[in-house]
Amino acid sequence: MHYQAAAESWGQYMHQAAASAHRVGAGAADPLERVERLASENAVVVFSVSTCCMCHAVKRLFCGMGVNPTVYELDEDPRGKEMEKALARLLGGAPAVPVVFIGGKLVGAMDRVMASHINGTLVPLLKEAGALWL
Range of the domain at 52: 3-129
Structural domains in the chain (count): 1
Mean pLDDT along residues 11-17 = 44
Q: Could you tell me the CATH number of the domain that includes residue 18? A: 3.40.30.10
Please say if the pLDDT value at position 4 is more than 50. no
Domain-located, residue 78? yes
- Residue 42 is classified by DSSP as S
Domain-located, residue 35? yes
| CB 70 within 8 Å of CB 6 | yes
Query: Strand order of the sheet with strand 70-73?
Result: 70-73, 44-48, 99-102, 105-108
Neighbours of 127 (CB within 10 A): 13
Please say if the pLDDT value at position 123 is more than 70. yes
- Reported as a pLDDT band with limits 50, 70 and 90, residue 25 is very low
Mean pLDDT along residues 30-38 = 94
Please say if the pLDDT value at position 57 is more than 90. yes
- Reported as a pLDDT band with limits 50, 70 and 90, residue 15 is very low
- Reported as a pLDDT band with limits 50, 70 and 90, residue 32 is very high
Domain-located, residue 19? yes
Mean pLDDT along residues 61-67 = 96
Strand (E) or helix (H) holding 48: strand 44-48
pLDDT of residue 19: 44
26 or 108, which is more confident = 108
Domain-located, residue 107? yes
Domain-located, residue 134? no
